[in-house]
Amino acid sequence: MSVVTLLTVQNTQTVDAIEMLTPDFALAQLAVVLDDIPPMAAKTGALGNAAMIEAIAARASSFRFPLVVDPVMISKHGVPLMEESAIAMLRRSLLPHAFLVTPNQMEAASLAEIDVYDLETMEASARILCERGAKNVLVKGGRVGSESIDLLVTCDGAYPIGGPWIPTQSTHGTGCVLSAAITARLAKGESLWEAVTGAKSFILDAIRTAPSLGKGLGPVNLLQ
């Protein structure tokens, strides 16, 4: 089940327009979903503005299941999906309710307010997010030579998670799919490590087997 927070006009080449829904409408959706099919885990995606983040964070304070926060700030095409004022609200109100936050390097830098460009600064940014309330942080690192290396930071330590770098134009939705796959595995009862590493394998296969669709950044293959 899903709750819609914003709508986009987009294809593989661009995002032409964004339409925010109201926080009240999003909360109404959330209420009926939780009443009918209580989840074992949930994730957030593009929340758009401070009012939406504040509303979702207030509701998240009563969640009794793990919440994965994917702090979507910008599309693969470089179009902003989150207002600047919303970043501070996310830091302050939503991070403390997150079992796991899954920023890429740019998002980690914005949330932690430091430069992030390698494994050392990835870990430093994750530690700052943990200090601000997040239980665990997965910083998606992108390409390091011939590898794609992410860094999982928990209260116990920092754990690099590697995989091959796959040259492709089919990268539309990779971050969203990764966080969704982690959430699904947590809902099935897997440990954080099992969920993250299993989801990493899934997204690598989804990229590797992606159909070549569209004239721009095509989607990954979810039907493996």
pTM, full prediction:
0.96
Q: What is the pLDDT along the chain (224 residues), one digit of tens a residue?
A: 899 999 999 999 999 999 999 999 999 999 999 999 999 999 999 999 999 999 999 999 999 999 999 999 988 878 888 988 999 999 999 999 999 999 999 999 999 999 999 999 999 999 999 999 999 999 998 777 788 899 999 988 999 999 999 899 988 889 999 999 999 999 999 999 999 999 999 999 999 999 989 999 999 998 87
Q: What is the pLDDT of residues 167-178, one digit of tens each?
A: 999 888 899 999
Return the active site residues: 140, 171, 173-176
Structure token digits, residue 134: 């997040």
Give me the CATH topology for the region 6-208. UDP-N-acetylmuramoyl-L-alanine:D-glutamate ligase (3.40.1190)
